[in-house]
A = this chain, B = another copy of it.
Amino acid sequence: MKICVLGGDGYCGWATALYLSGKGHAVAVVDNFARRQWDYELGVQTLTPIQPLVDRLRAWHDLTGRKIELFVGDVTDHDFLATTIASFQPEAVVHFAEQRSAPYSMIDRKHAVFSQVNNVVGTLNLLFAIRELAPDCHLVKLGTMGEYGTPNIDIEEGYIKIEHNGRSDVLPFPKQPGSFYHLSKVHDSHNIMFACRIWGIRATDLNQGVVYGTVTDEVLLDEALINRFDYDEVFGTVLNRFCAQAAVGHPLTVYGAGGQTRGFLDIRDTVRCIEIACLNPAVPGECRVFNQFTEQFSVLQLAQMVQAAGRDLGMNIEIEHMPGPRVELEQHYYNAKHSKLIDLGLEPHYLSESLLDSLMNIAVKYRDRVDPSLFLPQVEWRNPNNTRRQRVRAAAAMESAV
């Protein structure tokens, strides 16, 4: 199958591109290296030493004989995107090419506007490119479970049947996103649903949970293929941060009571879910929504699991509660459905099995690269202007003064 992976140099995108290529699909990666640029901007880096994309692609080719095509450019540049789609003629486009950090979108007005314009325009461009240049192509779009927020009712997969005043309808599930980034995904979802309705586009909107893990079968082949492991307060996710903290003997920092509950999945399940979606496309005009996660945990549960895993490695790990930077409920009902991908054949990996291999051991292996100053949240949701740049400048000034 011909599959185009937009954002194929990023964390999920890279693992997905390799997995699909390994399965024999003809894969093209599209990327503008924005993700690497944001590392420079924030003064952070992935714990794992990732290689330049051309080197990674060459290593993959040398090791497997498989060639992944590369298109370098920005999906918000419609001329570039249209040329790419017209030239590669994909049967499926997997769209990871968005700014995906909630804290990044909350830094200040410019970052909020950038996140929404970047994500919404890229997706609009893609919808028009598919409609005009590859109308039968299946759009596989990465959304987020964060679109739903934490309602006091069960979360369904995209749509809910509502009975009201003696009538009923199946309607889009109401959204209560928790950051300007999450909002951008809600905007995308509405735009995609509309494009399917008016143009007969086929789309799968994957509301993905928090992804963890670095190791997939393909990146294990060679150190040159290693994937990102982000633990900083802006692009890192909670589980990565806990493992990096454990690796350097830092207490695990739990925001508030730690009752914040979310859906999680192993990156090995991410790549498999994408392939399942591609192999079982939506029908023309259908905007199908899958909730893409396998288990749900509270933040405190995760901290306790990392603590226990550390104990097995002979570490004594403390848990520290601190005020959270976000505006969110610290205790709430959470029960999100996630059966559609299972019905299509997903066999989940569970955190209890991968925590040591795919997370703790990686964190320990690269612990010399951990910068503990990146653990603590600097972006406060209640503050409309988090002067991150000043912090980075101040740190640099301090360093040069030493």
Q: Footprint of B on A, CB under 8 Å? A: 78, 109, 112-113, 116-117, 120-121, 124-125, 128, 131-132, 151-154, 160, 162-165, 167-169, 171-180, 183, 186-187, 190-191, 193-194, 197-199, 327, 333, 381-382, 384-385
Contact A109 B78 (CB under 8 A): yes
Smallest distance from the beta carbon of A363 to chain B beta carbons, Å?
A: 32
Most buried by B among A109, A165, A199, A381: A109
Chosen A-B contacts, 23 in total, with CB atoms closer than 8 Å, are: A109-B124, A109-B128, A113-B125, A116-B121, A116-B124, A120-B120, A128-B384, A131-B384, A153-B169, A154-B167, A162-B162, A171-B174, A171-B176, A177-B194, A179-B194, A180-B194, A186-B187, A186-B190, A187-B187, A187-B190, A197-B327, A198-B327, A198-B381
Q: Which residue of B lies closest to A116 (CB)?
A: B120
A56-B56 Cα distance, complex, nearest whole Å = 65
Does A174 lie within 8 Å of B172, measured CB to CB? Answer: yes
**A169 engages B183 (CB within 8 Å):** no
Q: Which of B78, B117, B176, B199 contacts A121 (CB 8 A)?
A: B117
A381 to B198, CA, bound (A): 7
Question: What residue in chain B is nearest A129 (Cβ atoms)?
Answer: B109
Contact B190 A132 (CB under 8 A): no
Chain B nearest CB, measured from A174 CB (Å): 4
Least Cβ distance of A121 to chain B in Å?
Answer: 6
What B residues does A382 contact at CB under 8 A? 198-199
Instruction: Find the residue from A78, A160, A164 having the highest chain B CB count within 10 A.
Output: A164
Contact B194 A169 (CB under 8 A): no
Given the complex, which residues of B lie within 8 Å of A327, measured CB to CB? 197-198
Residues in B whose Cβ lies below 8 Å from that of A109: 78, 124-125, 128
Cα distance A131–B112 in the bound complex, in angstroms: 14
Q: Is the CB of A162 within 8 A of B174?
A: yes
Q: How far is the CA of A128 from the CA of B154 in the complex (A)?
A: 33
A193 / chain B contacts, CB cutoff of 8 Å? 176
Distance of A83 from chain B, by nearest CB (Å): 14
Task: Kindly report which residue of chain B lies nearest to residue A156, judged by CB atoms.
Answer: B164
A333→B167 contact, CB < 8 A: yes
Chain B min CB distance to A220 (Å): 40
CB-contact partner of A112 in B116, B128, B173, B381, under 8 A: B128
Q: Looking at the assembled complex, report how far the CB atom of A178 sits from the nearest CB atom of chain B, in whole angstroms.
A: 8
Nearest CB in chain B: distance from A183 CB, A: 5
Determine the distance from Cα of A152 to Cα of B128 in the docked complex, in whole angstroms: 29
**Chain B positions within 8 Å of A78 at CB level:** 109
A124 vs B151: C-alpha distance when bound (angstroms) = 25
Using Cβ atoms and an 8 Å threshold, which residues of chain B touch A171? Answer: 151, 153, 174, 176
Q: Which residues of B contact A117 (CB under 8 A)?
A: 117, 120-121
* Residues B152 and A168 in contact, CB atoms below 8 Å apart: yes
Interfacial chain B residues near A165, Cβ < 8 Å: 153-154
B residues in contact with A128, CB < 8 Å: 109, 112, 384
Measured between beta carbons, the chain B residues less than 8 angstroms from A199 are 382, 384
Min Cβ gap A381→B in Å is: 5
Residues of B within 8 A of A187 (CB): 116, 120, 183, 186-187, 190
Determine which of B113, B167, B384 lies in contact with A132 in the assembled complex, contact meaning CB atoms within 8 Å. B384
- CB pair B152–A167 under 8 Å, yes or no, is yes
> How far, in Å, is A167 (CB) from chain B's closest CB?
5
